[in-house]
Structure 1
Amino acid sequence: MRECGTPSVPSFYALRKKQASLVADISNLQPRHHISALGNHFYMNHPIDLISLDWANPFVREFIQIYPEITENVSESWQADKFTKEINDQLTPMWADWKLASYKHFYVNEVAQLQDGRFVLPLRWIIFNKEEHVEVLFLSQNELAEFIVNDPEMKRIPCTDLKYNYLDLKTQFPDLKFRSKSLNLRYDIQVMMPHPVRKIANGRPAFSIRIMPWADDVSGNRSKQYNAHMNVYVANVNLPHRKLSQEYFVRFCSTSPHASSSEQLEALAEDLKSDKWNEAYDCKLNEEIIFQMHGHLLPADNPQQAEHTSTAGANANLWCRGDDSGGSDEHRESNEGYHALFEPGIPRTPEQTIKTIKDQIWAAGRGVQDAVDKIQTKTGVKDRTASFWIQQMIDKARQIQQDRLTTEATRDPRLNDKKVKGPDRESIKESIKAAIQQEVFDWVLTQPRERYDRLPQNSHKYIWHETNKVWDKKKDAQFAIRLQSSSTDGLSLSPLRAHYMVQYKNSLIGKHFKALQQLAVFHLHGGLCSKELFDLWKANGELGALIWYPEIKDIDKYLADLQILLDNVLDLWAVFDPSRIQYKYKLHVLSHLKADILRFGPAVLFATEIFECWNAVFRLCSVLSNHQAPSFDIATTLAGLERFKHQVSGGWWKNGNGDYIQAGAKVRNFLSNNKELRRRLGLADRSSSPPGFVKLVSKAKRASLLLHDAHPNFNAETQQLALISSDDLESRKWADCRYVVSRSGDVCKPDSWVFFEKMPLDVTRLCWQGTSSPKTLAGRIFKILSPEDAREDSGLALTIVEHFDVSSTNDNHFGMPILSRSGGVEIVKAKHDCFSGACGTTEDIVIQGRDRTTRTQKTISHSNDSRFVLNMHALHNANLIRETLPTSLYKPRPLFSDRRAKHDEIAAGLRVTGPKKRVAQKEKSKATRAKNKAKEANR
C-alpha cells in the first residue's frame, strides 16, 4: 500500500496489535491454555465464547430456534425425540411475549395465571402448529390457600394465554402456599417458587443452547507427508440444517499434534457444566441475556467414537460402542450370536462404563496386567486416558512390591522372620499387596501434578473394493468411460473425474463414494461384477437415498421402510461374505441407525461432511504458520478470523465503557454486498431467487423467435399455449433463457429432468407436487423462453417441457421406474438405461486447458433416447421424488421372508469354515514367526 502511495498506512506491528486488541474486545476470544490428564499442553478457543457470538450476530441470531417443536414432519434436530422427549431439564426455562412493550418472564415450575383466571403450572415451552405453546398442569386452591393439582393430565395451551407470572402473583397473594407431593406425575419435577434461574438472570432473558462437537485427525500439510493434528470443531444445533451445512457456521475450537480428542474434549466440557450461565448480547431482542450450553450429540468416525465412549474398538470381542454386541468367534458363529449381530443389543450406559474403568484402575494397583486385560476382554471397555495411567500404576506397583516383598534390605520386617511360614506368611504378603494397591490408587488420583494442584481443596468403501479388486486394466478403462459419460445434472455432484477415480480406486474420499453410490449401478453390466455384488449395489443405493432425506414427513412409515432397507443391505452382505459382519463393525453399526434417527432427526443432521470440508481452512492456517507452537498459533489465527467474521457480519460486542456496539455501516455492508467475501467465509446460500425466476442467456448468444417456432413438434394441441393471450403471444418475440428456478429452489436448465404441473390453458410451470396427482407429469426441459421486453423476474417466462410417461412397473434389472417418450417430456433425476439400450463408444476431441487438441477419448454413444430409467439412488431431492411417484414404484420389500432362518443357515456354514480359517491363520502366523526368527539368526 505504501508503494502505491496510500497515505497513513500503519506498520505491520500496529496492524497486528490492533487486530489482537479487537479479538480481546469481542467476547474475550483468547485461546486458553490447558494441560490434559496425560500431561499434554494445548490451547482452545472455548465454545462458550464462540457461541456467545451467535446471539450478537444478525446473520445467525435470526435462525436460532429456542424451543423444541412438536410436528409430524421431522427435518431439524429440535423436532426429534431427544429434543422433544428426553431433555426437559436442559431446555430453555423461560418464555416471554417479546411483541409486548413491557413483557413478563414466565418460568417453568412457577405458578402462573391465565387470561381467564385459572392457575397453571408451566412444565415446558414448545412450538406447536408453528406457534409458541406451553405444557401445563391446571391448579386450584384449597381451603388453606394452597395450590394443588386439579387435573393430573398435562395440557397444551398457547403461551399468549398466560397473563400473570410469579412476581405478579406474589404481589396479589403475599402468603402464597403450595405443595408438591402430588406433582410427581409424567415428569419428575419439583415445584420451585421462584425458579432458581430467575435470581441469576436478574431480569434478563435466559435461554439454553445445544452444540455438536466433532473431532478428527487431520494432516497439517498439503503434501503427501502426513503431519497429524487432532482437531475439535463445534456447531450450534439450534440452527437449521441448511445453515449448518455451510462453512460459515462451523466453529474451530482447538488443535494439537500431541493431545488426543478425548483430552481436548475434556477441556471443552468445562463449558457444559449444568450450573454455568453466561452473558451475551441478543441483537434480536436488543438486550443482554444469559444462556446455558449443553452437548447434544458427538458424531465422529468409528475409531474416534470408540475412543470417546471408552470402548476397545472394532477388533475387540465386545466391539460395539453402543451395546454389548459381539463375543468370541465361537459365539458369533452360533445361531444366536450370528443373528444378534444384525440387531442392536443391550445398550451400554455411562454409569456402567465409568464403574468398569474404575475397576480397571483399582486392579492395576496389584501390578498384574492380566487382571486388567480380563476386565477389558469381558466388558469391551478400554479408556485411552485410563490406559496411560494404568500402565504407570502397574510398573509402580511392581517396583514397590519388589521393594517391600522381595528385596531383603527393604522388604517388610515381618517377612524377615523365618518362623513365619505357610498361610501366615501369605496373609502378610496379601495385606502388604492390598496396602500397595491403595497407595498406588491414591497416587494416580493426584496425577498429573499440574492439574491436581489446580483443583479446589475440599462403507461405502467395502463394496467398491470388492467390486474393482478383480478388474484388469481393460475393465478399469471400460468402467471409467461409462462413468465419465454420466449426466450429473440434478445430482449436486462435483464434476466427475472418472479416470482419476479408477486410477486411484483404493484411495478415494467421501465425494468420490458419494458419486459412485448414485451412478455406479448403471455401469456395472457386461461382466464388471457378479449378480450378488450387483444386488448389493442396488440395495446400498436405495438405502443411501433414504438416509439422505432432509425432511421426514411420516416418521413411522419412514422408519419401517428404513428397517427393511437396512435389513436387506446387511443380509446381502451376509450372502456375499457370511463372515464380513463378524469383523466389520461398520456393518453392525447400521443396526443402530433407526434409533439414532428417532432421537436426533434425519441422518444428514449429524453427518460430518461439512466439518471435513472445513479442514481445508485449518490446513491453510497450519501451512502458513511457523510450526513452532501449532496449537496456540492456529487457535490465535482462527480467533482472529472469528473476530473479523463477527464484525463484518454486523455483530455486536461490548466496548470498554460497557456499551454494546457494532461496526460502521460500510464495514457491515462489505459482507452483504461482496459475494467473493461471502464465498470465502463459507456463507453461500442456494439460489434465493423465487420459483419461476429465469436467467436470460447473454445478449451475444441470445436468439429471437416466435412461439410456434420454439419446438419442432409443435402441433395444434401445443399451440393452445397461444390461447393465453391470442392478441399478444402469436406476434411476440421470445428469447432463450439459461435456467429457471423450480418450486423446490433448484436451478433447472434445458435438458434438465423435472416433474411439472400442467396448469389451465396448458401454461407449464415447474413444481414439486406433494402427492401423485394426474396433473403432475414427468418431463425434460426443451427450452426456457422469456418475452424479449420482459424482466427476468416478471413471471411471464414459459418452459417447454417434453413429456415422458412413467411406467406402472419398474425395470427388471435396476428395479427403478421406467420413463418412455410420449411426444411430450420427463423427470428431474433420470439416467439413460444403458443396460437395455444398445450403447456403444465413440470418440470426442480432448480439451487440454482451453485448447482443442488432435487427441480423442472414448465416451458413450446412446443408440436411442426414447427409454430411460429414473435414478432412485440419487440423493438430491430423494424425498420429493418419492412423494411424487406412486408408492408401488419405490416401496421397499424384504429380501428374505424369514431372516432368522437364513441367518441360522449361514451361521451353520460358518461353524464349518470359521475354525478351519482360524487354524490356517495360526499356522501361517507360526510359519511367519519361524521365518523371521531364522532371518534374525542368520544376520
Structure 2
Amino acid sequence: MKECGTPDVPSFYALRKMQAKLTQAVGLKPQHHTSALNNQFYMNHPNNLIRLDFANPLVRKFIHVYPEVTTTISEFWQAAKYVEEIEHDELSPMWANWELSPHRHFYIRELAQCKNHDYVLPVRWLVYRDLIHADAYAVSQEASGIFTVEDHRVIRILATDLQYNLLDIQVQQEIAFSGSIYAHLLCLDTRTALTPYSPHPVRITAQGRPVFVLRIMPWADDVSGNRSKQYNAHMNMYLANINIPHKLLAQEYFVRFCATSPHASSLEQFDALSMDCKGDSWTSAYDCELKQEILFQIRAHLLPADNPQQAESASTAGSSSTFWCRVDDNVMKHTFGKPGKPRTPEETITRIKQQIKAACLGVESAVETLQTETGVNDKIAAHWIRLLITKARDIQQDKVYNRTTRDPRLNDKHIKGVEREQIKQAIIAEIQNELFAWVILQPEDRYQALSEDPCEILHTYLLGADKYVWHETTKPWNDAQGESFAARLQSASFDGLNMAPLRASYLVQYKNSLIGKHFKGLQQLAIFQLDETLCSPAVFELWKANGVLGALLWYPEIKNMDEYLADLSVAIDNVLDCWAIVEPTRITVKYKLHVLSHIPDDVRRFGPSILFATEIFECWNAVFRLCSVLSNHQAPSLDIATTLADMERFKHQVSGGWWKPEGGDEWTQAGVRIRNFLTGNKQLQRRLGWTPPNAIKPGTIKILSKAKRKSGSWNTILGPRWKEKTIKAAPPAATSNTIWNDCKHAVARSEDICFVNSWVFFTASTKVSYIWRDCGQIIAGRIANILVPEGSAQDSGAVIVIEHFGISDLNDERLQMPLLIRTAENYAVEPKDILFKFNAQHDCSHFSCPVVHIRGPNQEHQASKITRKMKVHSDDSRFHLNLHALHNAHLVRETLPRHLTAPKPYFPDRHAKHKEFAAILRETGPEKRAQAQARGQATKLRNKQDKEDKATAAKERALI
C-alpha cells in the first residue's frame, strides 16, 4: 500500500499491536494449563467463546435456551436426554416476558401467581407447541396463610399466564415469607427430592440480570499439524454450541477452536475444559437481543469422536482388549448383535479406584488382572498407577525389608511365624492406605462422572461398515472387473444425492485408500452397479442391507420416534446377519460392527445421528493445519491458540458483534461498513464458512442468461409433448402468442435446487392414478422444462413441465426398491407445487445396457483421442427409485406407502440362525486361531533370520 502511495498506512508492528488489543478487548486470551501429567498447554476457554454467540446478531436469534417437547425430533433440545433426563436445575432456571414485563423474572422452585390468581410452583421451562410453557405444581393457600401442594401431579401452563413471581407477591399481598411457609412443600418430586427456594439462589447471584444455561459438544482427536504426508501429531479440541440449529452447526463458521497440544492428551484437555462446566460457574455476556448484560452457564452434553478416542474418553482399553465395548459392561456375554449391560460412570470410577488401590500394593500383575477382567483402563490413572507401583515398592523396601530402616518389630527375633506375617501385612496395608489417600485426595474433578459418548457415524459407519463391505467386494477383483465397475459407476445419476459426482476410475485405482466422502457415494450407488460377475450373492445382500441402514442413519429429522427406532433396529439386525453369512467372525472382532447395536439408544437420547456426526470438525482441521504450518514451532499450543483467538475476534466484529472496549463502560459495535463487510462479501463468507440463512426462497426460479436460454412459443419450445396433447393443466398463456424462456433451475418447497431432468415429487390440482395404484395428489416425475413468459417479473407465471412416472405397488425383487415407469401423461405445474427431489437410477439390468467406448475428456482444452468405457442407457422408460439415497430419505419414506419402505427382517428366526452361526464358529474358530498363530510364529522366525543375516553381512563387510 505504501508503494502505491496510500497515505497513513500503519506499520506491520502497529497493525499487530492493534489486533492484539482488540482481541483482548473482546475477551479472548489463551490461558495456560498444567495437566495432571505435568504437560503444558494453552486453551481458549469455552465460556469466552460461547459468550460471543450472545453478542453476535447473526447468531443470537437462533439460540434456543429451553428444551422443546415435540413429536418431530431434529435437534438436540428435542431429544430424550435434553427433555427427559437432564435435571431441572441444570436447565435454564428463569423466564421473563421480554416484550411486556422484561424486569419481572420468574425462577423455578419459586412461588408464582397466575393471571387467574392461582398459585403454582414452576419446576421447568420448556417449549411446547412453539410457545414457552412451565411445568409446575398447583399450590393453594390455606386460611392460616400456609401454602400447600394440591397434589403431586405436574401441570403444564403457558408461561405468559404467569403474572407475579415470589417477590412481586410479597409486595402485592404484603406476605412476609419465611422457611416455615414452605413446610408442606417439601419433597414435591420424589425423583429429585425437590424443595422450593425463597428466593432462588441464582436470583441473588444474577442481581437482576437474565440467566441462561447452554450445552456444548466438545470434540477431541489426534490431527497432523503438517500438510505433507509426514505425520506431526497434535491432540486438538473443538466445540460447538448445540443450542444452535444443526443446519447452522454444519457450517465451519460455528466450529470453535479450544486447544491443541503435541503433548497433552484429550483427557488432560477435557480436565481443563471442565473448569467452565461447573454448576457454580457463571459467565457474564452481552445479549444483543435483550440489549443488556446477562449471565450464562455451559454444560457438556456429549463427546462425539472416532472409536479409539471414545475408548480413551470412556476409560476403556479399546478394541484390542478382551472386553472392548466402551458401552457394554461385558461384550462377550451379550446376545449376538445386541447391546449388553451398559457401563455406568459410577462403576467405571469405582474400577479405576480399585486399580489405583491395587497399585498401592506395588504388585503390577494385580492391576493388569483388574484391567483384563473389566476392560477399564484410564489413561490419566495409568500415569499415577505407574508412579504408585514404584513408590509402593520403594516404601515397602524401607519399612518392611531393609534391616536398618524397617519397622523395629520386624527386627525382634522373638516374633515369628503367623504373628510376624500379620505385622508385615499390616505395615503393607498401612502403606497402601497412605498412598491411596495421597493420590485420591487430589482435586475432586479429576474423577468426575464421565460424559456421554454416542456412536459417531463418520468413523463408525462410513469408515467402518461401508469400508468393510467395500474391501470384501473388491479384494478378489482383477483389472477387468475393476474397469467394468468403474464404467458402470461413471454412468450413474448423481442428481438428487446432494453430492458431487465420483471419479469412478480413481475409486477403483485407489480402492484401499478411500475416505469418507467416497464411501458415502458408494453406499448410495454401488448396489446398482454390482451383479454376479463382481460379487457373490451374500455380499450383494450385504450391500442392500448396508444401503437401507445408511439412509436411515442420515435422517435430519424424526417425526415418529418409535416407528423409526423399530425400522432402525431391523436394519441394523439385517446388516449384522448379512455379515454373519459373509464372514461370521467379523461381528466378534470388529468393534465398529458391534457398536451399531447401540445406535437406537443413542438416537432416542440425543436425536438423529447426523447431529453428533463429526464431519464438520474433520473439515475444520484444514484451518488448524494452516495455522500449524505458519506457527513459530516453538510454542505451538500458545501460538495456534492466539492465532485462532484473533480469527474469532475478527469474525465476531465483522459479524456485527458487541464488545466492551478496554477501560470502557458501554458495549459497542464496529462501524456500519465493517458490519456490512461479511454480509456483502461472498469471498469473506466462504473463507469464514458462513452461509446466510434463508438465502434460498422456495417456489422461485432462476432464468438462464441470454446467451444460453432458448425462447419460443409454447408448442415450439415443448415440441412433441405439446403435439401429443399430453400435458395436463397447461397454463392459459400456452395457447396465446406468449414467448417462453428456458430457466436454469427452480426451488422446491424443501429448498432443493431442481434442474431439468431432476426427479421430483409434486402436487397436481387433479387426482391421478399411478400405474398400479391410486396415490391421490402427490405424484412422481422428471422435470422436462422450466419456463417463464417473456417480459414477466422474476417468478411470475413460471411453469414447470414434468414427465409423469408411475410407481410400482411392489418393490423390485432384486433390489427391493420401487420401480418408476413412464406414463403417457405430462403435467404443467407452478414452482411452488414442487415438494422435493429424489434420486433415481436407470434399470440397466432390465434393458441390458451395453458398455461402450466413448471419447475421453479434453486435455489442455484440446480434443483427446483417448477413449474410456461407459455404460449407455438404451431406454429411459424404467427406473429404480433409490431408497439408499441419503438426501431427503425421510421425505421419500413419508411420501411412499410403508410397505414399500419398511425394512423387513432378513431371518424370520434370528435366534435359531445365531445358534447355527455359533456352532460354525466353534468348529472353525480353533482352526483359524491355530493358523493365525502359525503365521505369527513364521513371521517371527523370518524376522529373526533376517536380523541374523544382516548381522552376518555387516561382520563380513567389516572384515573386507
Residue identity matched to 2:162 = L
State the distance in 1 between where 2:863 and 2:647 align.
43
State the distance in 1 between where 2:573 and 2:856 align.
46
**Which is worse superposed, 369-378 or 501-510?**
501-510
Where does residue 721 of structure 2 map in the other structure?
713
Q: 2:300 aligned with 1:295, yes or no? A: yes
Task: After TM superposition, give the deviation of residue 889 of structure 1 in Å.
Answer: 1.0
Q: Is the 8 A contact 1:149 1:182 kept in 2?
A: no
**Which is worse superposed, 170-179 or 245-254?**
170-179
Where does residue 206 of structure 1 map in the other structure?
211
Where does residue 670 of structure 1 map in the other structure?
677
Where does residue 778 of structure 2 map in the other structure?
776
State the distance in 1 between where 2:775 and 2:212 align.
44
- Structure 1 segments, 4+ long, off by >6 Å, are none
Q: 1:839 aligns with which of 849, 852, 876?
A: 849
Where does residue 767 of structure 1 map in the other structure?
none
User: In structure 2, the residue corresponding to 1:297 is in which secondary structure?
Assistant: coil
State the distance in 1 between where 2:433 and 2:112 align.
55
Q: 2:237 aligned with 1:226, yes or no? A: no
State the distance in 1 between where 2:724 and 2:521 align.
43
Where does residue 178 of structure 1 map in the other structure?
182
User: In structure 1, the residue corresponding to 2:562 is in which secondary structure?
Assistant: helix
| Cα distance, 1:206–1:9 mapped onto 2, change above 3 Å | same
Q: Is the 8 A contact 2:726 2:825 kept in 1?
A: no
Q: 2:555 aligned with 1:549, yes or no? A: yes
Task: After TM superposition, give the deviation of residue 703 of structure 1 in Å.
Answer: 1.8
TM-superposition CA deviations, 1:86-139 (whole Å, max 9, x none): 112211111111111554111111111111111111111111111111111111
State the distance in 1 between where 2:946 and 2:698 align.
74
State the distance in 1 between where 2:218 and 2:825 align.
51
Where does residue 5 of structure 1 map in the other structure?
5
TM-superposition CA deviations, 1:709-736 (whole Å, max 9, x none): 23222246446655x435x752110111
State the distance in 2 between where 1:825 and 1:713 align.
8
Q: 2:797 aligned with 1:787, yes or no? A: no
* Coordinate RMSD, CA, aligned: 2.2
User: In structure 1, the residue corresponding to 2:431 is in which secondary structure?
Assistant: helix
Where does residue 265 of structure 1 map in the other structure?
270
Q: Is the 8 A contact 1:846 1:857 kept in 2?
A: no
**Which is worse superposed, 517-526 or 592-601?**
517-526
Q: Is the 8 A contact 1:96 1:104 kept in 2?
A: yes
User: In structure 2, the residue corresponding to 1:178 is in which secondary structure?
Assistant: helix
Task: After TM superposition, give the deviation of residue 825 of structure 1 in Å.
Answer: 6.2
Q: Is the 8 A contact 2:726 2:824 kept in 1?
A: no
State the distance in 2 between where 1:512 and 1:879 align.
22
Q: 2:568 aligned with 1:573, yes or no? A: no
Where does residue 758 of structure 2 map in the other structure?
752
User: In structure 2, the residue corresponding to 1:639 is in which secondary structure?
Assistant: helix
Where does residue 111 of structure 2 map in the other structure?
111
| Cα distance, 1:3–1:760 mapped onto 2, change above 3 Å | farther
Q: 1:864 aligns with which of 869, 875, 882?
A: 875
| Cα distance, 1:837–1:126 mapped onto 2, change above 3 Å | same
TM-superposition CA deviations, 1:808-853 (whole Å, max 9, x none): 1111111111011113469631011222221222213322354432
State the distance in 2 between where 1:720 and 1:102 align.
56
Where does residue 914 of structure 2 map in the other structure?
903
Q: 1:635 aligns with which of 628, 633, 641?
A: 641
User: In structure 2, the residue corresponding to 1:876 is in which secondary structure?
Assistant: coil
State the distance in 2 between where 1:365 and 1:528 align.
59
Task: After TM superposition, give the deviation of residue 259 of structure 1 in Å.
Answer: 0.8
Where does residue 249 of structure 2 map in the other structure?
244
Where does residue 429 of structure 2 map in the other structure?
434
State the distance in 2 between where 1:760 and 1:564 align.
38
Residue identity matched to 1:604 = I
Q: Is the 8 A contact 2:187 2:195 kept in 1?
A: no
Task: After TM superposition, give the deviation of residue 141 of structure 1 in Å.
Answer: 1.3
Residue identity matched to 1:85 = E
TM-superposition CA deviations, 1:448-480 (whole Å, max 9, x none): 9xx99xxxxxx1211111111111122122212
Identity of aligned residues (%): 55
TM-superposition CA deviations, 1:243-298 (whole Å, max 9, x none): 11111111010111111111111101100001111100000111111011111111
Where does residue 64 of structure 1 map in the other structure?
63
Where does residue 696 of structure 1 map in the other structure?
703
Where does residue 97 of structure 1 map in the other structure?
97
State the distance in 2 between where 1:428 and 1:182 align.
51
Q: Is the 8 A contact 1:818 1:867 kept in 2?
A: yes
State the distance in 2 between where 1:907 and 1:34 align.
51
Task: After TM superposition, give the deviation of residue 418 of structure 1 in Å.
Answer: 4.8
State the distance in 2 between where 1:185 and 1:353 align.
27
Q: 1:343 aligns with which of 338, 341, 353?
A: 338
State the distance in 2 between where 1:850 and 1:36 align.
58
Q: Is the 8 A contact 1:119 1:140 kept in 2?
A: yes
Q: Is the 8 A contact 2:337 2:576 kept in 1?
A: yes
**Which is worse superposed, 53-62 or 918-927?**
918-927
Q: 2:667 aligned with 1:657, yes or no? A: no
Where does residue 82 of structure 1 map in the other structure?
81
State the distance in 2 between where 1:58 and 1:106 align.
25
State the distance in 1 between where 2:399 and 2:942 align.
43
Where does residue 875 of structure 1 map in the other structure?
886
Q: Is the 8 A contact 2:767 2:776 kept in 1?
A: no
| Cα distance, 1:427–1:756 mapped onto 2, change above 3 Å | same
Residue identity matched to 1:240 = P
| Cα distance, 1:920–1:526 mapped onto 2, change above 3 Å | closer
Task: After TM superposition, give the deviation of residue 690 of structure 1 in Å.
Answer: 1.9
Q: Is the 8 A contact 1:780 1:828 kept in 2?
A: no
Task: After TM superposition, give the deviation of residue 932 of structure 1 in Å.
Answer: 4.5
Where does residue 354 of structure 1 map in the other structure?
349
User: In structure 2, the residue corresponding to 1:506 is in which secondary structure?
Assistant: coil
Q: 1:614 aligns with which of 620, 628, 633?
A: 620
Q: Please, which runs of 5 or more residues in structure 1 have no aligned partner?
A: 328-336, 453-458, 763-770
Q: 2:131 aligned with 1:124, yes or no? A: no
State the distance in 2 between where 1:361 and 1:834 align.
64
Q: 2:517 aligns with which of 507, 511, 518?
A: 511
State the distance in 1 between where 2:576 and 2:393 align.
48
User: In structure 1, the residue corresponding to 2:4 is in which secondary structure?
Assistant: coil
**Which is worse superposed, 133-142 or 849-858?**
849-858
TM-superposition CA deviations, 1:727-761 (whole Å, max 9, x none): x7521101111111111100011111111212369
Task: After TM superposition, give the deviation of residue 413 of structure 1 in Å.
Answer: 4.5
Residue identity matched to 1:855 = I
State the distance in 1 between where 2:861 and 2:945 align.
61
User: In structure 2, the residue corresponding to 1:848 is in which secondary structure?
Assistant: coil
Residue identity matched to 2:226 = N
The normalised TM-score by structure 1 is 0.93
